[in-house]
Chain A
Amino acid sequence: MISFVIKRLLQSVFVMLAVALIAFSMFRYIGDPVSNMVGQDTTQAEREALAERLGLNDPFFMQFGRFVVKAAQGDFGISYKYREPVSHLIEQRLAATLELSFVSAILALAIGIPAGVYTALRPRGLLSRAIMTLSLVGVSLPTFLIGILLILFFGVILRWLPTFGRGDVVAIGWWTTGFLTVSGIKSLILPAITLALFQMTLIMRLVRAEMLEVLRTDFVKFARARGLPDRSVHFIHALKNTLVPVITITGLQLGSLIAFAIITESVFQWPGMGLLFIQAISDVDIPIMAAYLVLIAFFFVIINMIVDILYYMVDPRLRADNAG
């Protein structure tokens, strides 16, 4: 078990290094940060002095090495634009993104799983068909459009919910939360739905497919033959067996929720990491971009590792392979 974890850890380190390298080298071709930082009247000599100060004239591997060593200590440098430490900026934005992703994940699960079960049990019901048609919308419409449509309907026409921002937040230490104020909760609704919609339909369709499969298996038939009530057949025996792949997918999708939040965040001007990243791209703020990519990769690597370890514990065959 320990050797397995160590092996996985080592692999993760390589993955992280590769991501860091790709991210870092990509940025060299994204544009000139210097001309974004100065006004139109700034002279060439001042521009060159600035590039020198930023270390942009050093050889590539020197810049990269410096970046990795510092990043390992949580120091991603100082944002070119905001002139604040990137770690501090991310700390400020992390709470917004995590709260949004968390609520979206809950929404996706709380609606996706029951809807999936329902549509599997009554595949020909009117409501099932309606849900399936709606889910097509969720899968096929781009997030950007869904967000704008929601804003138009609930924000502009009905005026029930705010169209942008995070409302009032309460600070608890470095964490800021929108859960404790009315405006904070109201502001959360539209972006959370927008972000959750795709995952929700995905989970629903997955549960439905698995459920249909499981309902045809022998043990369900036997359970029915034993005279067990429908409720316990569906929700105890069948649903339990569909959940294994659902848990795997959900785990991985949690990472995507955080990463996909970029689009939702920019539509709703949600002050999270994704918005910070988008802004950084247009300003060629390399430290922020690098930190964001590395951080997202880090989330994915950690989640993957946890899923792997869970498999190892759940599936005895993996252990046997390792021993042999």
Chain B
Amino acid sequence: MKLRTGLFAAVAAVALAATTPVQAKTFKYAFQGDLSSLDPHSLNESFLLGTLGNIYEGLVLYDDQMNIVPGLAVSWKTLTPTTWEFKLREGVKFHGGQDFTADDVIFSWQRSLSEGSDQKVRGGSMKNITKVDDYTIVVETPAPNPILIRDIALLYIMDKEWSEEHGTTNATSATGTDKGNYANLNANGTGPFMVESHQADVKTVMKRHEGYWKEVPSNVTEVIFTPIKEAPTRVAALISGEVDMVYPVPVQDWDRLDGADGVSALAGPEARSIFLGMDQGRDELLYSSVKGKNPFKDQRVRAAFAHAINLEAIKDKIMRGASSPAGQMVAPQINGYVPELKEPYSYDPEMSKKLLAEAGYPDGFEITLDCPNDRYFNDEKICQAVTSMLARVGVKATLNAMPKSKYFGKILETGGFDTSFYMLGWTPGTMDAENTLSSLIVCQDKENKKGLFNIGNYCNKRVDELTAAVGSETDQDKRNAMIKEAFTILKDEVGYLPIHEQPISWGVSDKVTVNQRADNILDYRYVVVN
């Protein structure tokens, strides 16, 4: 007995010496919403997937600059245009102690395609996975896919054994007719942190996974996440020192944070593009004074709108200088961004009036602008500003602002695209322009599920061809040239009215250092508590 205690003490001493962060470092932060599930295949939402990225991991990871780096896969290469070989990382253990092997990858891929999964799009980027040995797999894609590794960065790997043991071999559906399954409230990943307790909407506590395979800058041993819905309370909690970091912070609170001791605002450009879309598909506009025809089918009218909107004023007056006015549909962080298209349409109300007169609307016309009021940064205020700018060139735009829950039910496919002039924001999930092209810019094709977020149905055959080619071109230079051509056509034809990339706005205590990623994700791997 004595011997055993002695041995135990010795082991404990060695274990203590081996772990670098001996001192407990707790990092507390708050976000406006909550983790709606712990199931990595349940809901395709950026906050949820980003946060779960600290617990679960994919075959590849994003680093602090959003570059793709090896994750659970050590290396990969293409064997043929549609087959990829991945070498998996050896010696990785799940939080529960299980070994990570090829079986787990195949299992997770199948799970991502199961009934309740909201990750079918990511899972669907692979047609088949064959196991060569425990640490080698061969992936087949349905078509040549140059951005496969980007597609699967957020496709997280679960342990097969653990899932089978707890009967969670299917994804928890985002539906709610059932109680969800074990993985909805429990987690077992390979990431640097593991869930200790999770109480929906109240508190989630995560502990450092000591056996994590990678050296990371973070010295945090415990993370406490609290959702705080009200912005003033969130900011007060930060200033009073009860939490070390909060986001998002309203732009009008920046001065207050910088004036307070020990905290500061941390802002940067987000990879999300905010833009207005115009109905170019219908023969008659909805909610407009123009009957029997569609003015937006006339490129001159679209250009007139583009030149009527003063993006600099929106930046200065509404966004307090924190946004970047946009000349194209993707942000600079996105693969495929075209530097030559950086300049927004010039602000020129005189030209705008002239174009409207040429198109046969010298006195303008009436139209309704649909806008969310709780989705994007200052969304309703931007729309208000747009309506008054349009009024200056004679277009009477009526603002119809509503909460996001009603808004998306109305303007998306479910609501029959019930809008003729609308606001939308988009971050390509793959951080690649192909996603923007195929979702927002190709012609609407309900049968083949293409362009389903091209609500205004901008349609150009050449752009469609280019998008299809971009989807399978593996030569990066050729591919980027095609993306550039497609975006140039779109800009020349004024298919959309880009507004800006909105800012990311965090409030951070001086006691911690964090890395602000362009997709507004907090990666605990880079959180250092001083």
Contacts and interface: CB of A to CB of B under 8 A. Distances in A.
A193 B396 CA distance: 49
B228 A32 contact: no
Most central of A34, A53, A156 by chain B CB within 10 Å: A156
Interface string A235-246: 000000000000
A82 B200 contact: yes
B20 interface: no
B240 interface: yes
A44 B236 contact: no
Contact of A85 (B37, B45, B179, B406): B179
Interface string B180-191: 100010000000
Interface stretch (B90-98, B169-177, B281-289): B169-177
Interface stretch (A16-24, A130-138, A275-283): A275-283
A37 B172 CA distance: 12
Contacts of B404: 36
B227 A42 contact: no
Nearest to B42: A83
Interface stretch (A99-107, A160-168, A206-214, A310-318): A160-168
B281 to A, nearest CB: 16
A151 B118 CA distance: 40
Most central of B228, B230, B408, B409 by chain A CB within 10 Å: B230
A106 B406 CA distance: 41
B362 interface: no
A267 interface: yes
B405 A83 contact: no
B175 A162 contact: no
A199 B384 CA distance: 39
Given A36-B405, A159-B241, A282-B374, A53 B175 contact: yes
A35 B175 contact: no
B236 A163 contact: yes
B44 interface: yes
A30 B406 contact: yes
Given A156-B240, A163-B240, A268-B233, A276 B179 contact: no
A155 B236 contact: yes
A150 B34 CA distance: 25
Nearest to A43: B449
Interface string A31-61: 1111111111111101100100111000000
Contacts of B413: 44, 47
Contacts of B201: 82, 271, 275-276, 279
Given A32-B415, A43-B449, A163-B242, A81 B176 contact: yes
Interface of B is mostly: loop
Contacts of A165: 202-203, 226
B236 A31 contact: no
B452 interface: yes
Given A89-B200, A283-B405, 17 more contacts: A30-B405, A38-B44, A40-B426, A42-B118, A50-B175, A54-B177, A83-B175, A84-B200, A148-B236, A159-B241, A163-B242, A165-B203, A266-B229, A269-B227, A271-B202, A282-B405, A287-B176
A27 to B, nearest CB: 11
A209 to B, nearest CB: 35
A266 B230 contact: yes
B383 interface: no
Contacts of B429: 40-41
Most central of B173, B229, B403, B426 by chain A CB within 10 Å: B229
A78 interface: yes
B453 interface: yes
B37 A83 contact: yes
Contacts of B374: 282
A54 B176 contact: yes
A44 B176 contact: no
A159 B240 contact: yes
B512 interface: no
A81 to B, nearest CB: 6
A14 to B, nearest CB: 30
B229 A278 contact: yes
Contact of B179 (A47, A83, A92, A151): A83
Interface of B: 30, 34, 36-37, 43-45, 118, 120-121, 172-180, 184, 199-203, 226-230, 232-233, 236-237, 239-242, 374, 403-406, 408-409, 412-415, 426, 429, 439, 446, 449, 452-453
B44 A78 contact: no
A42 B44 contact: yes
Nearest to B427: A40
A79 interface: yes
Most central of B44, B175, B228 by chain A CB within 10 Å: B175
Given A39-B118, A80-B176, A164 B233 contact: yes
Contact of B176 (A32, A37, A166, A267): A37
Most central of A46, A83, A156 by chain B CB within 10 Å: A83
The number of chain A residues touching the other chain, given as a range, is 35 or more
A34 B43 contact: no
Contacts of B452: 43-44
Contacts of B45: 39
Contacts of A151: 232-233, 236
A317 B230 CA distance: 51
Nearest to A79: B176
A152 interface: yes
B401 to A, nearest CB: 14
A37 B175 CA distance: 7
B242 A164 contact: yes
B230 A41 contact: no
Nearest to B46: A39
Given A84-B179, A148-B232, A267-B230, A32 B174 contact: no
B405 A31 contact: yes
B225 to A, nearest CB: 12
A113 interface: no
A284 interface: yes
Contacts of A166: 202
12 contacts: A32-B405, A32-B409, A34-B414, A38-B174, A39-B43, A39-B45, A159-B241, A163-B237, A164-B237, A165-B203, A275-B229, A282-B374
A282 B375 CA distance: 11
Contacts of B240: 155-156, 159, 162-163
Contact of A164 (B172, B179, B228, B414): B228
Contacts of A266: 229-230
Most central of B233, B241, B412 by chain A CB within 10 Å: B233
Contacts of B37: 83
Contacts of B118: 38-39, 42
